[in-house]
Amino acid sequence: MTSSGWVVVIILLTCVTCSLVGCFLVLRRSAMTADAVSHSVLPGIVFAFWISGGLNLFSAFLGAVGAGALTVGLTKWLTRFKLKREDAALGIVFPALFSVGVIWVSVAYRQVHLDTDAILLGEVLLAPFEQLQIGTTSLGPVSVWLLGPLLVLATGYLKLFQKELILESLDPSFAKVSAPAASQIGSGLTLLLCLAVVASFTAVGVVLAIALLIVPTAVGRLWTDSLRLLIWLSVGIACLAGGLGLFLAFGLNLSVSGRKGKSSLSPPMYWRSILRATGTTRRNAG
Amino acid sequence: MVDLLGDYTIRMVTIGSAIVGGLCGALGSFAYVRRQSLVGDVVGHAALPGVALAYLISQSKDLAVLMLGAGLTGLLALAVSILAVRYCKMDQGTAFASVLSTSFGVGVLLLSLIQQTHAADQAGLDRFLFGQAATLVEPQIITMAGVGTGALALMLIFFRPLVTLSFDPSYSRSTGLPVVGLESILLVALVSSVVVGISVAGVVLVAALLAAPAAAAHRWCTRFSTLVAVSAAFGALSGATGGFLSSTWANVPTGPLIILILTGLVIVSLLWGRRRTEPREVPS
Amino acid sequence: MGLQKLVLITALTFGLLLVGCVSQPSADSIPDKPGQLKVVTTTGMLGDLVERVGGDRISVKSLMGPGVDPHLYQAKSSDLLALDQADLIVFHGIGLEGRMARIFTQQKDKAFEAAALDPSLLLKADNTTEPDPHIWFDLDLWGKVAERVTQELSRRDPAGKSTFEANLRSYQADLEKAKSEVTEILRTIPPKQRVLVTAHDAFQYFGRAYGFEIRAIQGTNTASEAGASQIRTLADILTERKIQAIFVETSVSSTTIGALQQATEARGWQVKIGGSLFSDAMGDQGSESGSVIGMNLSNAKTIAEALR
């Protein structure tokens, strides 16, 4: 397959995975977690670098997922026992972790090319060239191998525990009584979320990943109150926007996901199409 | 100590950080009681298209112009997300996250346009978003102090109605307070403090400058007006300490150090603070 | 249920349609003449080098055009086609391109790391094992890079071997000449003034080649941040030694340098901003500074003018 073909596959995989997981994220009213994780992965990557003593995409990935899980865990703990406010808890936890990362880098690795970009600034146009190799044979892009199994895992998990997850998102106290395992299942979702978020960061970059997690569901929510329909709608919207964006990007020769700044990354064309979709739906709903 | 404060860089960094910390602390307490502590994050990201537009229109990298652009788009983004919450049955986090990623995407699109047309001249536009307290100079501090005084003045002039609005919106509406006007004033003040904060701490850390001082102060007082004062004091104190310490320790960046000091304050307050109740307008 | 199926079918068709559309390479993005070797380089500096060595026997496209900083490079869809069609990809390596380099090292049959010289020749970044990639400021080393590229081109196109080697000789002679010119230009600077202060650490090789002390506010790692203490240290040095000027870089923001100037002024020493230097990117194509030799000469003139 040509690399352009792989780009389409990677984009569609990301769209489906993100919108699927994002549905439950929005349902649990913790959409901002996605943005928080995008900043707080930094110390995780630095930690991985320190432990493994060198550049290594695999350990950086694990470090990032770990830092993401730590963010969610700390926020949950603060919200439940100390602050009683999720927004403030999140607003304290992720800048603190990010600060630790920046100070660590500035003091210890000032001159080292740490390659935080490798996790945060995914570039979908280059993703096809990063092949998974065993021995000398190439087995296709790493991103496909990351996102594909993840999509299967996510679909299976969400399908299997759908009832508990919905219950836990909508009425946590009732869930505790009626389904004792609900909170563990919720934590499983958190881990799944961190995996999906970090994997999409490496494939398409931070901003596009956040957008694909939240916006399709937010738009779909304006159309329907039924959860089943919402899931289908958001997956459909994500694919449509992704496809349209890609089409325009290839047509106009623009970059698909920008490579800019510390944690900033985005897909101009997607954005336009999603914006347009949001605009029309809002009008219809309002 | 006095000798060290005589040093230009230390003086500028310490004063600048203290101003920003105090300002964000004071207005952050409003965001805190309204459960909107993450506005800093939203406005911070929405500042990018503003900075790009301001540069495209004015063709200058003057700090005041860029701040104005950032403020305007920040205000727009915040207004859109608040309207989305009110009229589109969206929850706040979802609205914030949608607006944040959308506006940042537009910003990157604009920046890549600028990069294609204005090759070398545009260097450092995105630097505005990272904030480098270490590079504060006098004219910058004067601009910041100006904007900050304006925001604080707005807050103080309309203090009573703003407090009523934040604690009991439906009551305010029934008593005939100009709710929309008051809300706009509060948003303008909040956005100005965030924009000033960005130039010191950067987009990511300004979220904590708004959220952390109020969360820490909340443990020490019940009355809201005290909360505002204590929160401002915490903010200014961490700003000054962070600015001062980072000027004397090698290689430690200023912004992140301020945030870690603030986080320390929050931890201490959560462990040993006295109050466990919600803040009130007046003590009961 | 009807809507769900509809959505699924639409999405799938759309996706398949897209795979179909974009899989066909459309416009040819590398100038294509029969028999020519198609070469894609990452930086403009390497593009300049390959063009000099390859001459008419190759066609070159640089992904990062003139004036584009490697850190700020954004891939475009035409770049994707170029990479697909290239016979040879020449990349800088030793850490300059970050993540992109890892992609290239996987494509061993197609990609070639130009700057992978003998490690003993390279400077290490600040007590680490990572090499400093900014070697285009040492024209001798740049000549060695040209040698490596010549060997690689000859391997790919054996018929052109003699042409490439002749081109290499003329290029190396030019580099030699440029180096003595730069030395000549810099000779006017008194030894006490030979301190180059810039915003980011890109001029270590320049310092080694021409006997300058190099001081930078920020390290090379983009995730690190300037601390106030560095600015103070540098301001002290500038004041103590009465250094005339500090420099901005074309591809880096000037705010940090501005703050340093203010801090020095407060210590009672007027340091001026000596002009802007080319660090990670060359000037516009066709202009004097649009080649490696040109950017080195232009930097030397700027520095000599300011520190004299």
Closest CB to B253 among C74, C227, C232: C227
Question: Is pLDDT of C78 > 90?
Answer: no
Closest by CA position to B261, among listed B244, B277, B284: B244
Q: Which residue has the tokens 């979320």?
A: A193
Cβ-Cβ contacts under 8 Å for B118 (sequence gap 6 or more): none
Dihedral angle sign, alpha carbons of residues A176, A180, A182, A187: positive
Q: What's CA B215's distance to the chain center, in Å?
A: 15
Cβ-Cβ contacts under 8 Å for A50 (sequence gap 6 or more): A108
- Structural tokens at position B118: 């204005």
Q: Give yes or no: residues C46 and C167 share one domain.
A: yes
The whole-angstrom separation of Cα C232 and Cα C238 is 10
Q: Work out the end-to-end distance of chain A between its first and last CA atoms, rounded to an integer number of angstroms.
A: 45
The whole-angstrom separation of Cα A266 and Cα C224 is 22
Say if pTM beats, i.e. exceeds, 0.90. Answer: no
Interchain CB distance below 8 Å, A111 and C219:
yes
pLDDT of residue C80: 74
pLDDT digits (tens, 9 = 90+) for A129-138: 777 767 667 7
The complex's ipTM works out to 0.88
Q: Which residue has the tokens 């800019």?
A: A260
Q: Give yes or no: residues C169 and C47 share one domain.
A: yes
- Structural tokens at position C40: 């894609």
The whole-angstrom separation of Cα B234 and Cα C192 is 47
Give the residue-averaged pLDDT of C153-169: 91
Instruction: DSSP letter for A28, please.
Output: T
C37 forms beta bridges with C58
Q: Tell me the pLDDT band of A268, cut-offs 50, 70 and 90.
A: very low
Give the residue-averaged pLDDT of A9-13: 87
Is C298 within a domain? yes
Interchain CB distance below 8 Å, A96 and B129:
no
Q: Which residues of C touch A138 (CB under 8 A)?
A: 106
Gyration radius of chain A over CA positions: 19
The whole-angstrom separation of Cα B105 and Cα A269 is 9
Interchain CB distance below 8 Å, B112 and C74:
yes
Cα dist from A254 to A101, A151, B125, C30, C289, whole Å: 32, 28, 20, 17, 27
Distance from CA of B120 to the nearest CA of C (A): 6
Interchain CB distance below 8 Å, C229 and B7:
no
pLDDT digits (tens, 9 = 90+) for B149-204: 999 999 999 988 888 888 887 888 888 788 888 889 999 999 999 988 887 778 88
Q: CB count, 10 Å around CB of A267?
A: 32
Give backbone dihedrals phi and psi of C273, rounded to 5 degrees, phi first. -85, 115
Give the residue-averaged pLDDT of A215-237: 83
Q: In A, residues 189-248, which contact C (CB 8 Å cutoff)?
A: 228-229, 232-233, 235-236, 239-240, 243, 246-247
Q: Which residues of B touch A87 (CB under 8 A)?
A: 35-38, 92-93, 211
pLDDT digits (tens, 9 = 90+) for A151-175: 999 999 888 888 887 777 777 777 7
Question: Is pLDDT of C14 > 60?
Answer: no
Chain A residue closest to B266 (CA)? Answer: A92
For the beta sheet containing C88-91, the strands, ordered from the edge strand earlier in sequence to the opposite edge, are: C58-62, C37-41, C88-91, C111-113
Interchain CB distance below 8 Å, B93 and A264:
no
Q: Which residues of C touch A262 (CB under 8 A)?
A: 222-223
Lowest-confidence segment of A186-200, B23-37, C138-152 by average pLDDT: A186-200
Interchain CB distance below 8 Å, B260 and A88:
no
Q: Which fold has domain A3-111+140-285?
A: ABC transporter involved in vitamin B12 uptake, BtuC (1.10.3470)
pLDDT of residue C222: 55
Is C4 within a domain? no
The whole-angstrom separation of Cα C41 and Cα C49 is 10
Interchain CB distance below 8 Å, A235 and C222:
no
Distance from CA of A97 to the nearest CA of B (A): 9
Cα dist from B20 to A10, A241, B23, whole Å: 43, 40, 5
Q: In B, residues 74-93, which contact A (CB 8 Å cutoff)?
A: 84, 87-93
Q: Which residues of B touch A213 (CB under 8 A)?
A: 97
Q: Give yes or no: residues C44 and C176 share one domain.
A: yes
Report how many domains make up chain C. 2
- Chain C within 8 Å of B114 (Cβ-Cβ)? no
Is C149 within a domain? yes
H helix or E strand, kind and range, residue A260: none
Domains of chain A, residue spans:
3-111+140-285
Chain B residue closest to A206 (CA)? Answer: B101
Closest by CA position to C205, among listed C297, C139, C300, C304: C139
Distance from CA of B52 to the nearest CA of C (A): 15
Q: Which residue has the tokens 């926007």?
A: A241
Question: Is pLDDT of B136 > 60?
Answer: yes
Chain C residue closest to A102 (CA)? Answer: C224
* Dihedral angle, C-alpha B235, B236, B238, B240, nearest 10 °: 160
Closest CB to C219 among A42, A57, A110: A110
Q: Name chain C's partners: 3 or more CB pairs within 8 A.
A: A, B
Interchain CB distance below 8 Å, A111 and C21:
no
Closest CB to B247 among C232, C259, C267: C232
Q: Give yes or no: residues C80 and C201 share one domain.
A: no
More confident residue, C166 or B8: C166
Closest CB to C18 among A111, A233, A246: A246
Interchain CB distance below 8 Å, A254 and B89:
no
pLDDT of residue C218: 73
3-state secondary structure chain B: CHHHHCCHHHHHHHHHHHHHHHHHHHHHHHHHHCCCCCHHHHHHHHHHHHHHHHHHHHCCCCHHHHHHHHHHHHHHHHHHHHHHHHHCCCCHHHHHHHHHHHHHHHHHHHHHHHHHHCCCCCCCCCHHHHCCHHHCCHHHHHHHHHHHHHHHHHHHHCHHHHHHHHHCHHHHHHCCCCHHHHHHHHHHHHHHHHHHHHHHHHHHHHHHHHHHHHHHHCCCCCEHHHHHHHHHHHHHHHHHHHHHHHHHCCCCCHHHHHHHHHHHHHHHHHHHCCCCCCCECCCC
More confident residue, B202 or C106: B202
Interchain CB distance below 8 Å, B246 and C228:
yes
Q: Which residues of C touch B12 (CB under 8 A)?
A: 262
The whole-angstrom separation of Cα A67 and Cα A56 is 16
C112 forms beta bridges with C90
Q: Which of C165, C183, C201 is the last residue of a domain?
A: C183
Interchain CB distance below 8 Å, B134 and C228:
yes
Considering chain B, what percentage of its residues have pLDDT values greater than 90?
30
Interchain CB distance below 8 Å, C223 and A42:
yes
Question: Is pLDDT of B123 > 60?
Answer: no
Give backbone dihedrals phi and psi of C60, rounded to 5 degrees, phi first. -115, 140
pLDDT of residue A187: 83
The whole-angstrom separation of Cα B56 and Cα B66 is 10
Closest CB to A266 among B41, B105, B211: B105
pLDDT of residue A178: 73
Give the residue-averaged pLDDT of C209-219: 84
Is C195 within a domain? yes
Give the residue-averaged pLDDT of B42-48: 89
Cβ-Cβ contacts under 8 Å for C45 (sequence gap 6 or more): C92, C136, C282, C292
Closest CB to C106 among A42, A117, A131: A131
Q: Name chain B's partners: 3 or more CB pairs within 8 A.
A: A, C
Instruction: Assess contact for A243 and B123: CB atoms under 8 A.
Output: no
**How would you classify the pairing of strands C37-41 and C88-91?**
parallel
The whole-angstrom separation of Cα B158 and Cα B162 is 6
DSSP letter for each residue of A198-257: HHHHHHH-HHHHHHHHHHHHHHHHTT-S-HHHHHHHHHHHHHHHHHHHHHHHHHHT--SS
Domains of chain B, residue spans:
2-272
Chain B residue closest to A269 (CA)? Answer: B109
The whole-angstrom separation of Cα C145 and Cα C140 is 9
Q: In B, residues 37-66, which contact A (CB 8 Å cutoff)?
A: 37-38, 40-41, 45, 48
Interchain CB distance below 8 Å, C80 and A247:
no
3-class SS of residue A262: coil
Distance from CA of B258 to the nearest CA of C (A): 12
Q: Domain of C73? A: 37-183
More confident residue, B261 or A8: B261
B280 forms beta bridges with B223
Instruction: Assess contact for B119 and C290: CB atoms under 8 A.
Output: no
CATH number reported for the structural domain that contains residue C202 in this entry: 3.40.50.1980
| Mean pLDDT over each residue of chain C, to the nearest integer | 80
The whole-angstrom separation of Cα B264 and Cα B238 is 10
Interchain CB distance below 8 Å, B108 and A207:
yes
Interchain CB distance below 8 Å, A214 and B89:
no
Q: Exposure pattern of B116-140 as b/e (b: 16+ CB <10 Å)? A: eeebbebbbbbbbbbbbbbbbbeeb
Q: Which CATH architecture has domain B2-272?
A: Orthogonal Bundle (1.10)
Is C15 within a domain? no
pLDDT digits (tens, 9 = 90+) for A29-65: 888 888 898 888 888 988 888 888 766 677 888 898 9
